[in-house]
Structure 1
Amino acid sequence: MAEKSSTHKEYVAGFLAGIATVVVGHPFDTVKVKLQKHNTEGHQIKYKNGLHCAARILKNEGVTGLYRGATSSFVGVAFESSLFFGMYSQMKQSLQGRLKSSGPDPLVIIPSAAYSGAAISFVLCPSELLKCRMQVQGTDSLIPNSVRYNGPIDCALRTIETEGVRGIFRGGVATLLRESLGGTVFFCVYEYVRHFMHSKLEAASHDHKSLTEFGTGVISGGLAGVAFWSAVLPLDVAKTIIQTDPDIRSTRNPFQVLHSVYRMAGIRGCYAGLGPTLLRAFPANAAAIATLEFAIKFLGIERE
């Protein structure tokens, strides 16, 4: 799939896709983070499942509780999405030109996806650290002497004050591994599903072309999102634990963290938050890709 476009338009389209992701997916993400934090530790707070967690948030905090931490998430995910899709598109175009490939090519998709995923991890790590710390401090944060933040800026300043600038990048290794591996899975599924659907629907009449494009974006994006999180959820569990651990001396090695979780909670602990994560993955990523495809068309980015 060859693409011809001005560089900045690809980044604008990705930015809009990121906003759509947060609007649709953040409530699910809040439930996921609380499950990962509280159901993998030894204190008294436990949730039966994602529905129980969501119900407790709504009862104690209302709908706003589900969007706790959304401010940093809007900023982080929007810019991350802009870089993610923009850098992927640029590198893919470059490799396609050299390899002269037509249709999805793993020699093009894999390095482009891994590169863009690794690059955005440096933007995503600080914003997710602030988001996660804000999410776990809700009314269920009943741990004695737990830190309370007034907002993401207060969280950032206090993190730097107590842990230094390095503290903002706590969980960086886990984020890098999650995004590079997950990005590869995401774009492989997205490109192949999109190519397959277009090949089957290319005979669709012009009157239904817009609807066909929208449906293709929803299905390819949704399936790619599910594949992403199915592949990397344990790394995300490790990242959440690392970023929300009040002990600044605790390990930042995601594999050591997962080993500790496995010893205490088994494989189920390594997949804490699986339910809300997968429930979020399809609609959030479907919204992202549908928005991306719409923005590409609106901005006049040509695609073959």
Structure 2
Amino acid sequence: MVVGGDAAKEYVAGFAAGVATVIVGHPFDTIKVKLQTHNTKTQVKEYKNAIHCTSQILRSEGVKGLYRGASSSFIGMAFESSLIFGIYSQAKQLLQGETESIKPQLQVIIPSAAFGGALISFILCPAELVKCRMQVQGRDSANSNYVRYAGPLDCALNTMKSEGVKGIFRGGFTTLLRESIGNATFFSTYEMSRHYMHLQLNSNSSARSQQSKILSDVGIGIISGGLAGMAFWTAVLPLDVAKTLIQTAPDPNSSRDPFRTLGSIYSRVGLKGCYAGLGPTLARAFPANAVAIVTWEGAAKLLGVKRD
């Protein structure tokens, strides 16, 4: 539980975690978005797999192609991470009250995380729309249905000019579903795995040096964060595929219904289409979320946040 007075510090720690996540995870996200956009149209895949997609990006655009749309991602992810960790910690404290519990309480964790996820979706949706549209355009748009933008700001302004304010929030309902379900899964996995690993470690070692304690805390953060990230994306990847297609659709009048979109994908390419980008997503999920959790816990500790 977060002790009162530490709320602002939790948001700062979450912000640091978001920046670390983008640095590690954005190239994997670019590959995921490319696969989701181009490999769900027909039975013929534009990219054979994640490795082929990566090589094509590097060949045509260089390393910077893997970080296309990263500036909007930095802004969106940093604030999203700040809010989700801060809101989650405060909501959990509010629901838990003064009750002390050794074992994580799922009846507290799940609604706290889902509530935080629902709130951040309103900030995350516009940032991800810009990021995804930047990622799919590539270098040569002469034979593409996708509009080419000079940068994230140009993308946002053109979207609002052509589609109105509601255009920048395209895919908002799908983002809300993804974040609510995903964060409930993420924090449940994180809290439970962290708890049992600490129990196991403490039962095997009654006396540990400060250095070994720091190393073990980092190790537990890496494993619990990585597993939580993989659980998040395994649970909600179909919704993420639907969100990507809704946000990058060339036709502004196309459906915004995620279930209708997934039904259309399934009818064209089967169940595998609903999990397009699974490989790079899971490859990204472990290191990116491991870094996020270690950064969050480390920053909170440096800022003097006290937890049970």
| TM-score range for the pair, normalised by the shorter chain length | over 0.9
1:26 aligns with 2:26: yes
Which residue is 1:213 aligned to?
Answer: 217
Match of residue 227 from structure 2: 223
Q: Alpha-carbon deviations, 1:143-177, whole Å to 9, x = none?
A: 44531100010000000000000000000011000
Gaps of 5+ in 2: none
Residue matched to 1:242:
246
Question: Normalising by the residue count of structure 1, what TM-score does the alignment of the two structures yield?
Answer: 0.96
Structure 1 unaligned residues grouped into runs of 5+: none
Could you tell me how far 1:7 is from its partner in structure 2?
Answer: 1.1
Helix, strand or coil at the partner of 2:80: helix
Question: Closer, same or farther in 2 for the Cα pair 1:105/1:158, shift >3 Å?
Answer: same
Task: State whether residues 190 and 220 of structure 1, in contact with CA within 8 Å, keep that contact through their aligned partners in structure 2.
Answer: yes
**Is the contact between residue 11 and residue 86 of structure 1 (CA under 8 Å) also seen in structure 2?**
yes
What is residue 102 of structure 1 aligned with on the other side?
102
**C-alpha RMSD of matched pairs (Å):** 1.5
Query: Stretches of 4+ moved more than 2 A in 1?
Result: 42-45, 98-103, 139-146, 202-207
Report the counterpart of residue 84 of structure 1 in structure 2. 84
- Cα distance in 1 for residues equivalent to 2:271 and 2:146: 28
Say whether 1:66 aligns with 2:70: no
What is the DSSP-based 3-state SS (H/G/I as helix, E as strand, rest coil) of the residue aligned with 1:139? coil
- Three-state SS of the structure 2 residue aligned to 1:48 is coil
- Counting only pairs closer than 5 Å after superposition, residues 1-304 of structure 1 correspond to structure 2 as 2-4=1-3, 5-42=5-42, 46-97=46-97, 100-139=100-139, 143-202=143-202, 203=205, 204-304=208-308
Partners of 1:146 and 1:279 lie apart in 2 by 27
How many residue pairs match? The answer is: 303
Q: In structure 2, what is the Cα distance between the partners aligned to 1:67 and 1:46? A: 20
- Greater CA drift, 174-183 or 139-148: 139-148
CA contact (8 A) 1:25 1:281 kept: yes
> Would the aligned equivalents of 1:149 and 1:155 in 2 still touch at CA under 8 Å?
yes
Q: Contact 1:84–1:120 (CA<8 Å) still a contact in 2? A: yes
Relative to structure 2, which stretch is displaced further, 201-210 or 65-74?
201-210
Moved more, 208-217 or 126-135: 208-217
Q: CA deviation at 1:43?
A: 9.9
In the TM superposition, what is the alpha-carbon distance from 1:198 to its structure 2 partner?
1.1
Q: Label 1:265 to 1:44 Cα distance change in 2 as closer, same or farther (>3 A).
A: closer
Tell me: CA distance 1:108–1:64, structure 2 relative to 1, closer, same or farther (3 Å): same
Q: What letter corresponds to residue 234 of structure 1 in structure 2?
A: P
Task: Output one character per residue of 1:210-237: Cα deviation in whole Å (capped at 9) or x when no partner.
Answer: 1111111100000000000000000000
Quick check: 30-39 or 101-110, which moved more? Answer: 101-110
Q: For 2:82 and 2:269, locate their aligned partners in 1 and report how far apart those are by CA, in whole Å.
A: 37
Any conservation in 1 of the 2:34–2:136 contact (CA below 8 Å)?
yes
Q: CA deviation at 1:99?
A: 5.0
Alpha-carbon offset, residue 207 of structure 1: 2.9
CA contact (8 A) 2:19 2:74 kept: yes
